[in-house]
Structure 1
Amino acid sequence: MNVSSLLDPILIAELAALGLGTGFLAGLLGIGGGMLMVPFITIIMGHRGAPADLSVKMAIATSMATIIFTSVSSVRAHHKRGAVRWDIVKRLAPGIVIGSLVGSLGVFSLLKGTALAIFFALFVGFSATQMFLDKKPAPTRQMPGTGGQFAAGGAIGFISGLVGAGGGFISVPFMTWCNISIHNAVATSAALGFPIAVANVLGYAVSGQSVQGLPAGSFGYIWLPALAVIALCSVLTAPLGAKAAHSLPVKKLKRVFASILYLLAAYMLWKGLHG
């Protein structure tokens, strides 16, 4: 991948389509785009000659970087409705930052991309099953104390960093299990996406500085051209998806999307086993 390829109209069109699609689905279904972006960025980079190990890592890092932009607009909307539990954010965020840095600065750089692809596939398969069944844990307890929330934040940040996702599929079930209403849990999860993204992106940028053979336009493991196009396009379509959510059968659509996620998980599993 050279500098001239960054101006390839086909590449720009592929990234724009991915951004428009993930933005719309994020608004429609209330999900982050990482589970959709990572496989497709992996495919796009692979078709342009990037090694399998590197393309998986850069797809995860670039996907996480887009969350910095999408989370801001999402949090503003939730905050206006008074739905964000900032007290929970303050307790979970320190652990999230530590867990994210441990993952992105340490474990992420040590693991092979093929191993990350397998872990991603298993995580997406689990998340797709939750979505397909529309499974919500029964609320059985209260939020733990400061230490417990620090530990929970650490786990959320660490796992999110390894799969390039904003943590919603972990933090929302955790909060609803602790008797936080689903409305507040989703809004608070959106707010947590920002520290998750910032800490992980910092780790990806630093840990990728010494990597050889990065494609043009890279900042550590982050592929800046993809970040720019996807972030711009996803911000445009996310509000449209949110509006459509009020008129479309979201529960049925989630099952369709879950089926797509199974296919993407299968691809990433194949990539990990045969990469």
Structure 2
Amino acid sequence: MPIESMSLIELAPFAAGLVVTGLVAGVLAGLLGVGGGIVIVPVLYHVFTLLGIDEAVRMHLAVGTSLGTIILTSIRSVRAHAKRGAVDWALLRSWALPILVGVVSGTLIAAWVSGDVLTAVFATIALLVAANLAFGKESWRLGTQLPGMPAQYSVAGVIGVLSALMGIGGGTFAVSFMTLYGKDAREAVATSSGLGVLIAAPAVIGFVWAGWNDPALPPFSLGYVNLVGMALIAPLSVLAAPWGAALAHAISQKALIRAFAFFLVLTSFQMFYRLFG
């Protein structure tokens, strides 16, 4: 039976899958200090696969729904960091325009390419992120201060493009870039949390437009953004994050980081297998 014709009772597994996504994403965010799409997109991808969501829209829907949740969680996160005075607002303002240009470009690309291309992009970069998590060292530096504005604008634009294509808030890239140039890790994380709104808000508009009236979408979807997913994942991930933070104090952080890297590698390999297997 097509998912769009299911009754509310028959849609219960879909809602349950989204609940699990929110809880898993929150726990992993609290455990590892990561969050946003780098957790939500692969979990959603697995859930949508199990639920039989049409493969033609599966990855677009995972990316768009993830971006929708990032709007909500990023606002909460940046406000919390701002209260501690850790956000570099001048940097955020200077990056806003190139980020926006990159996001618009990335969203237009996502609207044009197939789900297979989005899957390949995510799988490839997930491997790189996993390698950085597993083997990267905090002592690695490319300089003691951020490079000049032309270089920063270029990097911000690329972050916007890749974040829109992957359904992430940009922190995965921005934190690495800032810390490689000597930025304090806490300030880098705090400032990067503000990128989520700059990236997700315009990208969500684009994903709604790109998927408007696609017949393969599940119920309660506005284009490639599922409203049930937004309603369940964002608050549950916020709720579950403290649970993961509490576990982080009881379990080896290095082992957890390697475990998450392993999860990303498995997800990447599974995505590649579905593409080329």
Q: Common fold, TM-score beyond 0.5?
A: yes
Q: Structure 1 residues 216 and 11, CA, compared in 2 at 3 Å: closer, same or farther?
A: closer
Identity fraction in percent: 38
CA distance in 2, matches of 1:262, 1:143: 30
Say whether residues 1:28 and 2:31 are aligned partners: yes
Q: How far apart are residue 212 of structure 1 and its match? A: 4.1
**TM-align CA RMSD:** 2.0
CA distance in 1, matches of 2:95, 2:214: 32
Equivalent residue, structure 1, for 2:229: 226
CA distance in 2, matches of 1:150, 1:238: 32
Aligned positions, number = 273
Say whether residues 1:189 and 2:192 are aligned partners: yes
Indicate if the aligned counterparts of 1:209 and 1:219 stay in contact, CA closer than 8 A: yes
Q: How far apart are residue 139 of structure 1 and its match? A: 4.1
Q: How far apart are residue 3 of structure 1 and its match? A: 5.6
CA distance in 1, matches of 2:40, 2:101: 25
Q: How far apart are residue 246 of structure 1 and its match? A: 4.4
CA distance in 2, matches of 1:2, 1:203: 22
Q: Which runs of 5+ in 2 are unaligned?
A: none
Q: 1:81-230 alignment to 2 at 5 Å? A: 81-104=84-107, 106-136=108-138, 137-209=140-212, 211-230=214-233
Q: Secondary structure at the match of 1:126?
A: helix
Equivalent residue, structure 2, for 1:273: 276
CA displacement 1:154-190 (0-9 Å, x = unmatched): 1101001111111122111111122211111111111
Indicate if the aligned counterparts of 1:113 and 1:272 stay in contact, CA closer than 8 A: no
Q: Which runs of 5+ in 1 are unaligned?
A: none
Match of 2:41 among 13, 38, 41: 38
Matched letter for residue 180 of structure 1 = K
CA distance in 1, matches of 2:14, 2:211: 23
Q: How far apart are residue 242 of structure 1 and its match? A: 3.4
CA distance in 1, matches of 2:80, 2:253: 20
CA distance in 1, matches of 2:64, 2:70: 10
Indicate if the aligned counterparts of 1:140 and 1:177 stay in contact, CA closer than 8 A: yes
Q: How far apart are residue 38 of structure 1 and its match? A: 1.9
Q: Secondary structure at the match of 1:165?
A: coil
Match of 2:57 among 49, 54, 63: 54
CA distance in 1, matches of 2:146, 2:5: 50
Q: More displaced, 242-251 or 68-77?
A: 242-251
Indicate if the aligned counterparts of 1:217 and 1:223 stay in contact, CA closer than 8 A: yes
Q: Secondary structure at the match of 1:215?
A: coil
Which TM-score applies when normalising by structure 1? Answer: 0.91
Following TM superposition, the consecutive aligned residue runs of length 4 or more in structure 1 with deviations greater than 6 angstroms are none
CA distance in 1, matches of 2:174, 2:180: 10
Indicate if the aligned counterparts of 2:212 and 2:222 stay in contact, CA closer than 8 A: yes
CA distance in 2, matches of 1:199, 1:54: 20
